[in-house]
Structure 1
Amino acid sequence: MAGRGIAAYLTLALLSLAPPGTAQEIPAEGPVISVLDFDDLNGWAADDHAAALATFRNTCGDMRDPDWRAICALAKAQPLENARTFFELFFTPVLIQDGTPTLFTGYYEPELKGSLTRTETYRYPVYRMPKEAEVNRPWLTRAQIEQGTGIAGRGLEIAWVDDPVALMFLQIQGSGRILLPDGSHIRIGYRGDNGHEYRSIGQEMVRRGIYKAHQVSAKVISNWVRRNPVEGAALLRHNPSYVFFRELRDVSPEAGPKGAMNRSLTPTRSVAIDPAYVPLGAPVWIEKTGFRGMRRLMVGQDTGSAIKGPQRADVFMGSGPGAGKEAAKIKDGGRLVVLLPIQRAYAMLIEDDT
């Protein structure tokens, strides 16, 4: 989901749990690559492999390399009840480590309450991107935009929402849904920004002595702004960055948001990875400790600016406030293993030895 980033500001460094027999010292010249057996994957037999196969099918047709295209054709012809056999026949588990501790976080698609017309309740506009903001970099600041400078009255409003803090976090996430009064939704996605650097509101609250670092969260910020509307508005404008949106009409509002592969994400089966180490669209086995520990086969269908390294991943938890609460609690260690076509997996091992 383009523009995502809130997890990056809340992440804590955690120690990874290295599995028995894996390398502990990583050479400076590159990562260590280990080929595993499926018996080495803790909890593999108990997973819902059919759910993983359905998620894999959703994006594998967009993978361009010949070995992936061949496997995708087999995946689409495979009965779901044979999903485990399919993965074990055509893939090899590969562990890639670079010495950085494993870290799993979670993300979600925000859902805001809004209206297609301005009312006393719904009075904070969600804007399309003005043409001049694409050319003039940087363009107006958040403060100027929120005051209507150069943008109000031009018909650029997609909708109006009821919560300015939720709107700012929507801009950080980069996409979301707006729940309208009649119960229907519209989905919006990142279109661009005003060219100003993001400044963390949470960090600014800590700097001003309002809260300690461990106390800051989206809910805490939102409640403080509501209690202090004048100071709150000024606090939000400490962040000069402003994101513009576009309405997404080519995906049902009831489906998941689009990830980096331009396909809808599946809650708790789609994961954001670093494509420098994990091919977009590849199955990824997750062994996550901590909050709602997971032993699950997911698919690397998204990326993120904070997702860097072979043992870093962001689990998509779904849409709406419930998913947001779940996502905010995930800051855990564990192990990430990518499933690769057999020939590709052993070719990587040979390259690593040379």
Structure 2
Amino acid sequence: MTVRIGVIGTGMIGRDHTRRIAQVLAGAEITALSDYSTDAARKVQQDLVPAARVHDSGEDLIAAADVDAVLVCSTGATHEPYVLAAIAAGKPCFCEKPLATTAEGALRIVQAEVAHGSRLVQVGFMRRYDAGYRMLKRVVDNDIGTPLMVHAAHRNPTVPDSYGTPMAIHDTLIHEIDVLRWLLDDDYVSAQVVFPRRSSHAHAGLRDPQVVLLETAKGVRIDVEVFVNCRYGYDIQCQIVGEEGLANLPEPMTITLRKQAHLQNEILMDWKDRFIDSYDVELADFIKAAAQGTAAGPSSWDGYVAAITSDACVQAQDSGQIVPITLPDRPALYR
């Protein structure tokens, strides 16, 4: 079966997912596009999928008879209504993060999916599909004993002036929030944020760097450095310390160069280059599940937990205190 997919939002990530499905992956075709800018949707249609229809609204696209599944790649504030519409239509839906802009909105999606009775939503936490993280997951599960501590870092060379302190949580740390839960098979119970000496490269509206301290239900202690003006490159680090050993996330594969009395490895500067392959794998997983009328991978529940946790981290930024994280019982659908 060829899954007929409609893409809502044809900006950078929507365009790239359209290219990926049209030119790289098997088992699906793009039959519909929608964007708040019709001109932007028509440009993607012209460049990548001439046979696709451009719809006036995301709701029209979801309702279309020639759309079996939906990709929501629009602005964050639109995610909740589009995902809810896809669930109501009984169509599998891939939603880029965030699942919703509030925890309450994410909970409404969870409740709608539970009422539907089966999974339909996959959230775009692509790190679970990264080859390095998958290697790390196998080692954590099998080789280093009970995890005790995690040391991680998320560094960007620079960010625009529009990037504010809470975005370090909602836009940056959000990936660690999800992938560390997955690596540890654990949930968070508290969050604290501390601010070291401020970088002179941080603009006036941004406190950078910061260190997020998380505690899990099993007692694992996690520290994540978020430093978005590090200058030297895009650098993702993760070390998990277990009772019997420790494991590090592998570095991206590069050539080691010996030249002019220096030993050198290239450092990536762009997050899209660091995780480009994982996008292929996550969408292939979505297509495979959508062909069966369901969803795989990170779930609505994962998106909801990430929203609760990120809200607690922002509260901790403001208060400087340890903020408890309380989750409701996980519905049976997500166990």
Q: Is this a same-fold pair by TM over 0.5? A: no
- Greater C-alpha Rg: 1
Tell which has more relative contact order, 1 or 2 (C-alpha 8 A, sep 6+).
1
| TM-score normalised by structure 2 residue count | 0.29
